[in-house]
Amino acid sequence: MKKGYIPNQHGAWAMLLIPFLFGMFAAKPVWLHVLLFLGWFLAYLFSYAFLQWLRTKKTTIYRRPMQVYGSLLIPIGFLLLVLDPALARLVPFFIPLFLVNCYYARRNQERALLNDLAAVVQFSLMVFVAYQAGGGTDWRLAAELFGFSILYFTGTVFYVKTMIREKHNAMYYRFSVMYHLALLVAGALWFPPGLLVPLTVLAVRAVWSPHTKLSVKQTGILEIAYSVLIAGTVLVVYVA
């Protein structure tokens, strides 16, 4: 039951929630966001089961979750499009990114960097969807939050790999550090000054943490704290 129904991709939960919060609060929270998040959550659960089935072909495990999540997702998705038809314009942007996920799942290479980056962009697109649902009109603001979401989660991808799968890869470590330093510079040039504090914390994390003996569990717990710091700072800087 747990293997088929509950995703084990712990890092995806932050990507599921944070871009949604960015878009929702940048516009304004409305009741439609409740239905939208339910649909977004079900879409993630369905896609997880589908991609795992595509990877393993274990129909006995993943068929039922796909049926359950799909049967709930279809009417909710239909209702969302009835209540806000403009949401349909954003759906095509998700399709090619999801096809990338399908390709790597079929090849049993879900941890490939390109697959991770496709997921980052796909999740970050939720900024625009939540912004549209809230009746937002400043699409430049939405685009800036979308861009920041991509930059932050891309850095997280590099950093987490240096902590787990590429822990002893010196080249990967150097790339992660250079990326975070470049992100700090980009933050100073293009983003509000208030974001420099969390971006500095992320840069220090990228430099220091791979040299520690943090366990996978400890790394995950700290990532939750970093995500809260980023989300809270962005919402204060852009929304408050």
Mean pLDDT in order along the chain per 10 residues (240 residues): 73 92 96 98 96 93 94 97 96 97 95 94 98 95 96 95 90 95 92 92 96 88 92 89
Structure tokens at 91: 């759906």
State which amino acid sits at residue 102.
C
- pLDDT score for 216: 85
- pLDDT score for 220: 86
pTM to 2 decimal places? 0.94
Contact of 115 with 204, CB cutoff 8 Å: no
The DSSP code for 6 is: S
Q: Of 148, 167, 171, nearest to 211 (Cα)?
A: 167
- pLDDT score for 1: 46
Q: Go through the chain and tell me how many residues it has.
A: 240
Structure tokens at 160: 């987490």
For 58, list phi and psi in degrees, rounded to 5.
-90, 80
